Amino acid sequence: MGQIATSPIYLQIETAMTAHRSLLMPTSYSVILAVSGTHLINDLIQFLLPALYPVLKTEYALSYFQLGLLTLAQQITACFLQPIMGLYGDLRPKPYMLAVSMAVVAVGVVMLALASSFALLLAAAAVLGIGSALFHPEASRVCRMASGGRFGFAQSSFQVGGNTGTALGPLAAALFVLPLGQVSTVWFGLLAVIGFVILIRIAGWFANHQRMLKSAGTPRAEGPQLSRQRLILAFAVIGALLLSKFVYIETFKSYYTFFLIERFGMEIRQAQTILFVFLGALAVGTFFGGPIGDRIGRRRVIWVSIVGALPFALLLPHVNLWGVIILSILVGLILSSAFSVIVVYAQELMPQKVGMVSGFVFGFAFGIGALGAAALGGIADLVGMQQVFNALSLLLFLGFLTALLPDIE
């Protein structure tokens, strides 16, 4: 018996079983909740900038194109930095990078409060974007570590924190920032300090988890056996789906209030409240997408999410105010369920590079959304915001490319 226990085959089996148990550790709800909470703080602060657009447009005499450039400056840094930081984290995990990211966000929101020109607003937007770029890949990795195998649930919980923060952005603007002015955003730096403290604790959990995996000798994760061409096609389709979803959503975030003001003659605060309702629908839809994907398959959720929103999006620009509100809620609920599912699907294509893949998905989504919003802002200067919203829903036809995604489940 002693010879069996020390044989190479027995030791390999025992190592594999230990690694398997380590990968299936119980779901750490407290860690997922903490990371989701800091995601709420990050995205709430990030959305203070577009929530200020109606004020900044008047105060600095900005065009729609210049507002689009602010969105671009904030998001393009995330587009380029997130995949790089994600790959760096795969090769050299840095648990305390999460806390650093929140410190950068704090600097960015103070710069936003004190900016007195368009150039300084651009600089503040870029710093906020850098903080977001440092945050998302590592935070997504931590949620996957804490998932206990419930990847869709963990990713949806993470995303719903961010979407809730984004939804609270216009509400915070309507209640605090718009009445008190641009400088009042400095108080949101206190939220960043709270996030920093939470992420210091999460970094300790992260480091301990890494030590446990290393001591257990966990084998390298393997993805589905796809050819290089099939893998490239899959990521190209993912890119197209992200383009359709995020150009649509970023345009709503940046210009929905202007569409409501231009079409229905609403006041800024009323328009901000309706934007809050749309963004709240995004948060709710995000939460349900991941768990449903765990049960019925991620490819099916992607199909329903993007293509299912299409008929409502086509109708939205042509109905009355209540119709716009109801249809925007339906579009938000359905469309938002795709993102966490897309993130997990992409991670499962290359599970050995979770950070890089997460960085690519987040970075590309934010970058392409910002580019699209900037371009559509320039078009709105020429033809009007209503015409832009009339054509916007055509982007969702790209959802039919889901048929080209390989079935890996």
Give Cβ neighbours of residue 263 (< 8 Å, ≥ 6 apart): 385, 386
Per-residue pLDDT of the chain (409 residues; tens, 9 = 90+): 444 444 444 344 344 434 444 445 678 888 899 999 999 999 888 888 887 887 888 888 888 888 878 887 887 776 777 777 767 766 776 778 888 989 999 999 999 888 888 999 999 999 998 888 888 888 888 888 888 878 878 888 888 888 788 778 777 877 887 777 778 888 888 999 999 999 999 888 887 877 776 665 555 555 566 777 888 888 889 888 888 888 888 888 888 888 898 888 888 878 888 888 888 888 788 778 777 777 887 788 888 887 888 999 999 988 999 999 999 999 988 888 887 788 888 878 887 777 777 777 777 777 787 778 778 888 888 888 888 888 888 888 988 988 888 877 6
The C-alpha R_g of the chain, in whole angstroms, comes to 22
Evaluate whether 134 touches 100 at the Cβ level (below 8 Å): yes
Q: Which amino acid is at 290?
A: G
DSSP secondary structure string, 203-268? HHHHHHHHHHHHHHTPPPP------HHHHHHHHHHHHHHHHHHHHHHHHHHHHHHHHHHHHH---H
pLDDT of residue 122: 92
Instruction: Name which of 131, 136, 125, 130 is nearest 72 in CA terms.
Output: 125
Give the length of the chain. 409
**CA distances from residue 213 to 139, 222, 261, 292, 405 in whole angstroms, order as listed:** 18, 16, 54, 29, 32
CA distance 278 to 353: 34
pLDDT given at position 146? 85
Q: Which amino acid is it at 80?
A: F
The rounded distance, in Å, linking the Cα atoms of 222 and 226 is 11
Rounded to 5 degrees, φ, ψ at 147 are -75, -25
Return all residues near 231 (Cβ < 8 A) that are at least 6 apart.
349, 350
**What is d(CA 370, CA 121) in angstroms, rounded to the nearest whole number?**
16
pLDDT at 105: 92
